[in-house]
Amino acid sequence: MVISLAALAELAEAHRDTLDLPVAPVVLGEKVIDSDSTPVVMAALNLSRDSTYRDSIATTTESAIRRGRIFAAQGADLVDIGAESTNATATRVERQGQIDTLVPVIKALADSGVVVSAETYHPDVAEACLQAGAQVLNFTGAAHQEEFFDLAVAYDATVILCSVLGSNVRDVADVESEADPFPGLVAHFTDRVAQARSQGLERIILDPGLGFFYANLTVPSVRVDFQTRVILQTFRLRSLGLPVCHALPHAFDLFQEQFREAEPMFAVLAKLGGTGVFRTHEVPQVRAVLDALQFLQVR
Contact 173, 166 (CB under 8 A): yes
Q: Return d(Cα 172, Cα 165) in angstroms, integer.
A: 6
Helix (H) or strand (E) holding 82: strand 78-82
Binned at pLDDT 50, 70 and 90, residue 282 comes out as: very high
Q: Whole-prediction pTM value?
A: 0.95
Binned at pLDDT 50, 70 and 90, residue 233 comes out as: very high
Q: Domain of 27: which CATH number?
A: 3.20.20.20
Q: What is the pLDDT of residues 97-111, one digit of tens each?
A: 999 999 999 999 999
Q: Closest Cα to residue 151, out of 125, 173, 114, 171? A: 125
DSSP 8-state secondary structure symbol assigned to residue 51: -
Q: What is the mean pLDDT of the chain?
A: 92
- The pLDDT assigned to 174 comes to 78
Q: What is the pLDDT of residues 74-92, one digit of tens each?
A: 999 999 999 887 776 777 8
Contact 65, 89 (CB under 8 A): no
* Segments forming the whole domain that contains residue 282: 5-295
The phi, psi pair for 170, rounded to 5°, reads: -75, -15
For helices 283-295 and 262-273, angle between their N-to-C axes, nearest 10 degrees: 40
- The pLDDT assigned to 50 comes to 63
Q: Please count the structural domains in the chain.
A: 1
Give me the long-range contacts of 105-111 (CB less than 8 A, separation at least 24).
105/45, 105/47, 105/58, 105/61, 105/64, 105/65, 105/68, 105/81, 106/81, 106/132, 106/133, 106/134, 107/132, 107/133, 108/61, 108/65, 109/65, 109/68, 109/69, 109/72, 109/79, 109/133, 110/134, 110/135
Mean pLDDT of 33-48: 94
Q: What is the pLDDT of residues 4-29, one digit of tens each?
A: 999 999 999 999 999 989 999 999 99
